Copies of this chain bind each other. A is one copy, B any other.
Amino acid sequence: MAVRVGVLGATGAVGQRLIQLLEPHPDFDIAALTASDSSAGKTYRQAAKWRVDSPIPNDIGEMTVTATEPGEVPDDIDLLFSSLPSSIGAEVEPAFCEAGYVVSSNSSNSRMAEDVPLVIPEINADHLDLLEVQRDERGWDGALVKNPNCSTITFVPTLAAIAEYGLEKVHVSTLQAVSGAGYDGVSSMEIIDNAIPYIGSEEDKLETESRKLLGEFDGAELSHNEMAVSASCNRIPTIDGHLENVWVETEDELTPADAAEAMRAFPSLDLRSSPEPLIHVFDEPDRPQPRMDRTVGDGMAIAAGGLQETPFGLQYNCLAHNTIRGAAGASVLNGELLLENGYL
Contacts and interface: CB of A to CB of B under 8 A. Distances in A.
Interface of A: 13, 51, 53-54, 169, 171, 173, 175, 178-179, 183-198, 228-230, 232, 234, 236-239, 243, 245, 247, 285-292, 295, 305-306, 310-312, 315, 317
B171 A289 contact: no
Nearest to A55: B296
Given A192-B193, A236-B237, A51 B184 contact: no
Given A178-B189, A193-B237, A195-B290, 4 more contacts: A188-B188, A188-B237, A194-B238, A234-B243
B289 A238 contact: no
B198 A239 contact: no
B228 A234 contact: no
A292 B53 contact: yes
Copies of this chain in its oligomeric complex: 4
A4 B305 CA distance: 37
A184, A239, A289, most chain B CB atoms within 10 A: A289
A321 B185 CA distance: 26
Pick the most buried of A228, A229, A238: most chain B CB atoms within 10 A of its CB. Answer: A238
A13 B189 contact: yes
A289 B197 contact: yes
A237 B237 contact: yes
Nearest 6 A-B pairs (CB), nearest first? A173-B173, A198-B286, A194-B291, A230-B310, A232-B245, A228-B311
B292 A195 contact: no
Contacts of A198: 285-286, 306
A189 B54 CA distance: 15
Contacts of A315: 230, 232
B192 A187 contact: no
Contacts of A238: 192-195, 237
A51 to B, nearest CB: 6
Contacts of A234: 175, 243, 245
Given A169-B312, A295-B53, A192 B239 contact: yes
Contacts of A306: 197-198, 232
B288 A197 contact: yes
Contacts of A196: 286, 289
Nearest to A311: B228
Contact of A190 (B53, B169, B188, B312): B188
Contact of A311 (B230, B286, B295, B310): B230
Given A232-B317, A306-B198, A192 B178 contact: yes
Contact of A197 (B184, B229, B245): B245
Contacts of A305: 197
